[in-house]
Structure 1
Amino acid sequence: MKALAATLALIALGGCAASGDIRQPIPTQHVAAPQTAQRLVVVLPGRADDLVALQRSGIAAAIQSAWPDADVILAALTLPYYRAGDAPQRLHSEIMQPARLQGYRSIWLAGASMGGMGTLLYDAAFPGAVDGLVLFAPYLGDTSLLREIRDAGGVARWQPGPPQPVNADTWQRELWRHLQTWTSQPAQAQRVWLTYGDTDRLRDAMPLLERVVPPTQVLRREGGHAWSVWSAAAVDVFHAIDAKSAAKP
């Protein structure tokens, strides 16, 4: 994963990148549930977000308005951690594994933009380690690869070639290889929810991902690439998750 640094350093997400001292643990804020905590949602930031930006985003309050029994951990997994090449591993060892020991009934991982990419990278590195994923307009890779997948007729028909070690040249292809497994393992896709704004600057990539996510778990909203869109949508997403669970026979 070390060679991932060169590519991740050039991610064209726009805006300034938040800093971070990778010699220190991932900065976090624990937002306690208003009720007795039964669930946990870990939230990853976009490229320009630090912990303060996550706090100001309103995402914790949005999640807890729908899930008052959920603790929320805001985790400032900023670009320097990705540049170091071991962001999924650090997220696992520093946050996700310790959380599992707390006895939560379920643990969800959510991320916006770069954080959505990080959520998917984590799921690829540790399949099934979380109970569900919530993706807010995730960054899904370069336009050239997206065009290749689109020209193939979608991710289910795309031929990614032989599996390769993850490095700066292969991580995007290997990530999409992981997403392709959802087409043959629909139970994995059943735990994924996607939301984005109709004027989001990454919206052109979303239809490819929508092909592997249940249609009822895709929520499009008015607006662009901003927490004001995602936090508002999060209320609907987390209510919908519970509604789906309640509807199961």
Structure 2
Amino acid sequence: MTLAARARLFSVLVALTVPLSACLPGGGDARAPIPQALVPAAGPATRLVVVLPGRGDDIAGLRASGIAPAVQAAWPDADVLLTGLGFAYYMQGRAPQRLHEEVIEPARKRGYRQVWLLGASMGGMGTLMYDRAYPGDADGLVLLAPYVGDRSLINEIRATGLSRWQPGPVPPDVDADNYQRELWRHLQAWQKDAHRTDSVWLGYGAQDRLAPAMPPLAGLLPKGHVIVVEGGHAWKVWSPLTQRLLSGAGPARLDAQRSP
């Protein structure tokens, strides 16, 4: 990634933090392995939910957020893996690849029947970036007020509708100047598979500053896969919302959707 591209990505990610109470400054050290902390299920675990943080959230913040108990209240058979895939890893330009190599692949080797990704704000963007890099690799996605692009791009998509929107020529490389447009090119392709979003869930607060960007994404999902509640951009909204989303899904229904 060029210096100019890094500067562009830095400005976008910083914009996510002001004035969002859930995403305080921070970001980790990309020279180190991605921090991880496992919150085991009370009994035998058959699935794993990997949590990607908002901008500036660390492992301690995720523990305090209540997201692990919320997941396990809905899915008692789920281990929850809190990660510190912070700002620095995105700036490095290899966040999806490192997530795959350091978190997802090792989890698969531990024998989980399903591995899900759950991301909030910047982590929601990271979840979608992972799906773009490794389409369908995760068994399901939970998106909590994900950052999906600048207002100008969202307005462009909403003006034409996603089906008719023209993303432009495919660039030789994806960088900080075009990753938002390429992310939406990937999302647009979801429309070609009627079952592509059967295991994708979206939740956000009606007063969230990112709420105006959610309708084009919500329009890709099946009925009942989107929940909007009162509240803003904070874990106090997202954690109870996650329990509602996963309780509505239900392990049996998800297993049926994933069956050939």
Q: TM-score, normalised by structure 2?
A: 0.91
Aligned residues of 2:199 and 2:254 also touching (Cα < 8 A): no
2:254 pairs, out of 217, 226, 245, with 245
Residues 22-44 of structure 1 deviation map (CA, whole Å, 9 limit, x = unaligned): 11101110011111010000000
Runs of 4+ in 1 over 2 A off after TM superposition: 1-8, 14-17, 243-249
How far apart, CA to CA, are the structure 2 residues paired with 1:140 and 1:32? Answer: 31
1:157 maps onto 2:147 in alignment: no
| 1:98 counterpart residue number | 106
Could you say what secondary structure the match of 1:144 adopts? helix
Read off the aligned partner of 1:245 and give its amino acid letter.
L
1:31 pairs, out of 32, 39, 52, with 39
Shift of 1:136: 0.2
Could you say what secondary structure the match of 1:189 adopts? coil
Could you say what secondary structure the match of 1:155 adopts? coil
1:108 pairs, out of 108, 116, 128, with 116
| 1:18 counterpart residue number | 26
Matches within 5 A, 1:34-49: 34-49=42-57
Shift of 1:247: 7.7
| 1:224 counterpart residue number | 232
| 1:171 counterpart residue number | 179
Read off the aligned partner of 1:10 and give its amino acid letter.
S
Read off the aligned partner of 1:86 and give its amino acid letter.
R
| 2:10 counterpart residue number | 9
Read off the aligned partner of 1:159 and give its amino acid letter.
Q
Quote the RMSD (CA, aligned, Å). Answer: 1.7
How far apart, CA to CA, are the structure 1 residues paired with 2:111 and 2:255? Answer: 22
| 2:192 counterpart residue number | 184
How far apart, CA to CA, are the structure 1 residues paired with 2:28 and 2:254? Answer: 38
Say if 1:2 and 1:33 are closer, same or farther in 2 by CA, change over 3 A. Answer: farther
Say if 1:2 and 1:185 are closer, same or farther in 2 by CA, change over 3 A. Answer: farther
Aligned residues of 1:2 and 1:86 also touching (Cα < 8 A): no
Aligned residues of 2:27 and 2:55 also touching (Cα < 8 A): no
Give structure 2 stretches of 5+ with no counterpart: 19-23
Aligned residues of 1:13 and 1:47 also touching (Cα < 8 A): yes
Aligned residues of 2:158 and 2:216 also touching (Cα < 8 A): yes
Say if 1:2 and 1:241 are closer, same or farther in 2 by CA, change over 3 A. Answer: farther
More divergent stretch after superposition (91-100 vs 183-192): 183-192
Say if 1:188 and 1:247 are closer, same or farther in 2 by CA, change over 3 A. Answer: closer
| 1:131 counterpart residue number | 139
How far apart, CA to CA, are the structure 2 residues paired with 1:138 and 1:92? Answer: 20
Shift of 1:245: 3.5
Residues 133-192 of structure 1 deviation map (CA, whole Å, 9 limit, x = unaligned): 00000001111111111111x211111122112012111110000000111112111111
1:53 maps onto 2:73 in alignment: no
| 1:214 counterpart residue number | 222
Read off the aligned partner of 1:8 and give its amino acid letter.
L
Shift of 1:2: 6.0
Identity of aligned residues (%): 54
How many residues in Structure 1 have an aligned counterpart in Structure 2?
A: 248
How far apart, CA to CA, are the structure 2 residues paired with 1:239 and 1:247? Answer: 15
| 2:21 counterpart residue number | none
Q: TM-score, normalised by structure 1?
A: 0.95
| 2:89 counterpart residue number | 81
